[in-house]
Chains A and B, each alone.
Chain A
């Protein structure tokens, strides 16, 4: 299963609402996770099962979608949120990640 993300990168300001899109090459129901990766750090789980917020993750992060199209929304961008975001499907036992969306200032 191939995962694509758009846009590849975006520029935003603190306080902006940001939306990132992820598309699967076939239906994956809601078997979709989102991760945040800051430079030089390991990825961090944000959202699982398309819309469930991982414990400890701020509520400004939300996820939606089902089937082939998914979105990650940051309601009010904070300085800590400048990072690269990856989607990942777990529908297939062969997990695949998207290429990432880099959120820059």
Chain B
């Protein structure tokens, strides 16, 4: 079974650092980019960025550039999302997802076909 298993819920104080993880199994982890998405209650998901497990090529949303760092250890099929100094506004659910896609006559269509169950991050003093 193809799955992404995320690390457990975290409760942190402002200014602390944090790294959450997303471990893939059931497929060749290096073959698909991993997407990170943030979601706060009652809102739509926000695309944070994407990382290529094969070479660690990373693209960030301007909204998250400089706020988080994405990394990957392909030897253990695991992607990470890291904060060096958390803020209360980082409180949210964070999902990782596998990017897959198809090649059509009109171009390549990409989507997130497998999602982790999410990691809740709570930042509070």
Which A residues are within 8 Å of any B CB, using their own CB?
Answer: 3, 29-31, 33, 35, 41-45, 48-49, 52, 54, 86, 88, 90, 93-100
Contacts and interface: CB of A to CB of B under 8 A. Distances in A.
Contact of A45 (B47, B113, B117, B118): B113
B117 A86 contact: no
The binding surface of chain B is classed by DSSP as strand
Interface residues of B, number: 23
Main secondary structure of the interface of A (DSSP, over half): loop
Contacts of A3: 44
Contacts of A52: 102, 109
B93 to A, nearest CB: 9
Interface in B72-122: 95, 102, 104, 106-107, 109-113, 115-118
Contact of A49 (B109, B116, B117, B118): B109
Given A94-B62, A98-B44, A99-B43, A45 B112 contact: yes
